[in-house]
Structure formats: C-alpha cells, structure tokens
Structure 1
Amino acid sequence: MSDEIYADGVGEITITGSIVRIDFVSLSPEERDQNNNPKAVFRQRVIMPVDAFANSMDLLQKALNGLVEAGAIRRVADMPKAPVAEIGREAASAVNASPNFN
C-alpha cells in the first residue's frame, strides 16, 4: 500500500539550479495566527528536476482545464467581481481560495 498525504495547498515553490522543491501545507488544528485562523504548516516536500516540474505543470493545467470545462470550478478571471474561484454546486459548497488558480 502506498502512503497518501493530504495537503490544503502549496506553501512555497523553490527553484535552485535544476532542482524544484514544492512544499505542501495543511491547516493546523492547534496553531493559530493573530486573527485566530488556522495557520498553514509544512507537511511534505516534493523535490524534482526542472524538466519533470515543467511536465507536471502541463499535466496540472490539463486537469484544471478539465475541471473548468466540467463546470466544477470557474476561473477567477471569468467571474465578475469575485475574489476567489468558486467550486460548482454539485462538487461542493466551499470556496477555493488558493492563489494557485488565479
């Protein structure tokens, strides 16, 4: 059986030479910021060569386009006066505030 890691988002992407490091974060159940919101804390890092990162970005873009075409999400640019991408009613009632979908 393979290990699975849940992440609420990408915290940081660092490129050093030909290596890309992607840090995944999750909202902490214990740690809070000054507004009493859960803090994003480091969970896992993926390290890959630049060419593998470029290929994965192409695959992620295709997946995003499929979600848009299916109506599961809408791009921020397509939404008048909306600050975040909205998830389709049939997918969920939550809002995706990830800056990765801008």
Structure 2
Amino acid sequence: MHDELYADGIGEITVSGQIVRIDLVSLSPSERDANGQPKPVFRQRVVMSVESFANSVELMQKALNGLTEAGAVRRMQPPTEVPPAPRRTGSPNFS
C-alpha cells in the first residue's frame, strides 16, 4: 500500500537556484479567515529540480486539456482589457 495525501491546492511555489518547492495546503476544519472562510493550512512540501518541475507542468497541462475537452472543467474567459488612459503630452501645468 502506498501513502496518499489529499490537498485542496498549492499554497506557494518557491524557486531557489535549481530547486523548486511546492507547498500543498488543505482547508482547515477549524481555522477561519476574516470573512469566515476556512483558512488554507500547510500540509506537505514537494521538492524537485527545475527540470522535473517543468516536465510536471507540461504533464499537468496535458491532463487539464483532456479534462477541458471532456467537459469536466470549464475555463474562465480572461477579463476584458480596459483601454489605457490617453497619454498627456506636454507639461501638466498647462491644459
């Protein structure tokens, strides 16, 4: 039998040189934030090389694409970009 770990998500990813650290978190059954939502709490850390991390991201992207194609996951549309404010030319002292 192999040990398994459930995580609600990734709390933080830290890169230090050639090492990537991925902190896995779970929602606390007892701790709450200011909005009354369960706080994410650290559970375990995955440590791997940058190369292994890059390969893992590629594999996860393929899995996500398969889930999206199967309709199990819907991708959110990116927010509509707000056009930048017009740039002022000349001195701000003169209108």
TM-score (norm 1): 0.74
Identity %: 69
Structure 2 Cα separation of the partners of residues 68 and 35 of structure 1: 31
Q: Equivalent residue for 2:23? A: 23
Q: Equivalent residue for 1:62? A: 62
- Is the counterpart of residue 48 in structure 1 residue 17 in structure 2? no
- Is the counterpart of residue 2 in structure 1 residue 8 in structure 2? no
Instruction: Report runs of 4+ in structure 1 exceeding 4 Å deviation.
Output: none
Structure 2 Cα separation of the partners of residues 54 and 77 of structure 1: 25
Q: Equivalent residue for 2:77? A: 77
Q: Equivalent residue for 1:86? A: none
Structure 1 Cα separation of the partners of residues 12 and 61 of structure 2: 18
Instruction: Give the residue type in structure 1 aligned to 2:5.
Output: I
Which structure: greater helix fraction? 1
TM-score (norm 2): 0.80
* Structure 2 alignment gaps of length 5 or more: 81-95
Q: Equivalent residue for 1:88? A: none
Instruction: Report the alpha carbon displacement of residue 66 of structure 1 after superposing the two structures with TM.
Output: 0.1
* Structure 1 alignment gaps of length 5 or more: 82-102
Instruction: Report the alpha carbon displacement of residue 36 of structure 1 after superposing the two structures with TM.
Output: 1.3
